[in-house]
Structure 1
Amino acid sequence: MCTTRVMAAAALAAAALLTTAGPAAADSPSPSPSVSGSSSAPTQAGTSFRTAAVLQQDQPGTADASTGDYLYWVFPADAGQTPTVRATVTLPEAATRHGAATWQVDVYDGLRRRQACTHGSQTRTAAADAASVELKCTLRPVRAWSEPWANDPLPGSYYVRLTVTGLPDEDLGLPVHAEAEATAADAGGAHAVDGTLAAPLVPGTATAATAAAPSDDGWSSGWWTDRWLWTVGGGVLASLAAIGGYALTRGTGRRPVRA
């Protein structure tokens, strides 16, 4: 009877631990890197990687430009986050345009490696009478560490490049209004890896990117992830199985009493 009570109590404890794994991760998200400098949203975009305008996460940046310009922004992303970039271009009046226009948003990491989009419309064509075009790119989860030959997203700066890739030549130079925003979701402990990057991928030669880099402490998500909860829960369940097997194999009969 005592063994049964111990097993029941341990089972309840393990169930409570496993069922709280999700909320625990949600209640204690990895810290988002803080961007130094002014917290006001930028109203201009850069024209190259070196002059990219600094964005904080969840902070929209705007820019007035000419059709055909390359527009650049840069934002920080930490390990365990899944960044998503959204861009909206308000097009010139339809009466001034001569045909459809194709717009594209690209995202590059701190080493200026183009990162693939897993979700969203990275390239879209706006009809000649469309008022605006919306683009979206969701990256793979940012990893804390990766092999040197891999192209995995790593903690550091991420560059957004927005430009038109196809339109009638007569429409080059027409005024447009652009808006870009970067957000990030918690990827969860399933994407945690053993190892950390020595330093975030933040080019030291880029003035704007360096300004976007937080202190090293701000980039680290720490050693804790919800994967630890599942590991401990699995250990508890394994212990329960061992106790149950022992209780079943030893039997319940009494030993004979010797004279």
Structure 2
Amino acid sequence: MRITDVLRTPRTARTPRTARTAPAARTAVLAVTAGLLLLGGAAAPAVADATPAASASDGAAGSGAPTRAGTSFRTATEIEQGQKATANASAGDYMYWSFPADAEQRPTVTATVKLPEGARSASSTWQVDVYDGLRRRQACQYGAQTRTAGQATDTVTLACVLRTVRAWSEPWANDPLPGTYYVRLTTTELATADRGMPVSAEVLVGSEEMGGAAAVDGSLAEPLVPGIAVTGAGNAGSDEEPNAVLSAIEPEDGWSSGWWSDRWVWTAVGGVLAALAGVGGYALTRGPGRPSRVPPGA
């Protein structure tokens, strides 16, 4: 074949750039749409989990709800979240309950005190406090932690919304950590003539799942569960001391200690979307193919 025959060969017609980029644009749009649908599906469980457990009905607590309260940290009555506990006591007594709280939960404690009907000699002030497993008093984010009941008031309702429980914290910090929490209900101001009057109390603990927004990079080796529960008095006829074990209460699904959160899902979805956006952007912005080596006008 002669060189003149090669030069006279007609060039292959180029595909218009718009014709090449149209399929690429459609592919990028479909990829982004699929990623958004995947992102919405991952966010749906997180929204569903944000429903506070405290809104459960009284019947959900079951017939085995505690009907007494402890008088100290060591004898605190164990309750589960969503379980309404009741107790009868005398004005001036300390009432204690304990409950488990895991990482990424924001507990809410609600206490209701029912006073005897009829006028009393003076008003009284009631207060609910919450302590963590190290018996450190935890501040309430919001809620009526202290209220005063007038002489003719029959019911006092208190509430305390704690900060979100963290899976890990600095040793010097006072952040809430996974483990046992104690509720203490008592009166801080009471007339001498009203001491010892019969009262009844109701306590309900719930929590809101905060999700990956509250996740931290770290976890405790063990939850803070220092509560003591006497399980037995030893063998009959022996001098053995009662068996003291760690508190038996724990979350319904066990202690997570922050090893998993929906932040992993959001991170994975974000990585997929970034990869799809890179592929789509390259397809939309790449230039024409390698130019032909055939001289123009041949």
Written as runs of structure 1 = structure 2, the 5 A alignment for 1:39-54 is 40-54=64-78
**Quick one: structure 1 residues 179 and 69, their matched pair in 2 at CA, closer, same or farther if it must change by over 3 Å?**
same
Q: How many residues align?
A: 250
**8 Å contact 2:25–2:284 — kept in the other structure?**
no
Matched, 1:256 2:291: yes
**Using the alignment, how far apart are the partners of 1:22 and 1:90 within structure 2?**
42
Instruction: State the alpha-carbon separation in 2 of the partners of residues 41 and 204 from structure 1.
Output: 19
Which residue of the partner structure matches residue 35 of structure 1? none
**Structure 2 alignment gaps of length 5 or more:** 1-21, 54-61, 232-244
Matches within 5 A, 1:37-116: 40-95=64-119, 97-116=120-139
Please say if residues 225 and 247 of structure 2, whose CA atoms lie closer than 8 Å, have aligned partners that are also in contact. no
Whose RCO is larger (CA < 8 A, sep 6+)?
A: 1
What is the TM-score normalised by the length of structure 2? 0.76
Identity of aligned residues (%): 60
CA distance in 2, matches of 1:203, 1:39: 28
Per-residue deviation, 1:233: 2.6
The answer to whether structure 1 residue 123 and structure 2 residue 158 are counterparts is no
Residues 52 and 174 of structure 1: CA distance in aligned 2, closer, same or farther (over 3 Å): same
Is the 8 Å Cα contact of residues 84 and 182 (structure 1) preserved in structure 2?
A: yes
> Which residue of 188, 204, 215 corresponds with 1:192?
215
Which piece of structure 1 moves more, 157-166 or 231-240?
Answer: 231-240
Report the CA distance between 1:153 and its aligned residue: 0.9
Which has the higher Rg, Structure 1 or Structure 2?
Answer: 2
Matches of 1:188 and 1:39 in 2, distance apart?
A: 31
RMSD (CA atoms): 2.6
Corresponding residue SS for 2:140:
coil
SS in 2 for 1:48: coil
The change in CA–CA distance for 1:153 and 1:39 in structure 2 (over 3 A counts) is farther
Aligned to 2:162, which of 139, 153, 157? 139
Pick from 197, 207, 210 the counterpart of residue 246 of structure 2: 210
- State the partner residue of 2:42: 21
> How far apart are 1:101 and its partner, in Å?
0.8
Deviations 1:139-180 (A, max 9, x none): 111111111111111111000000000122211111101111
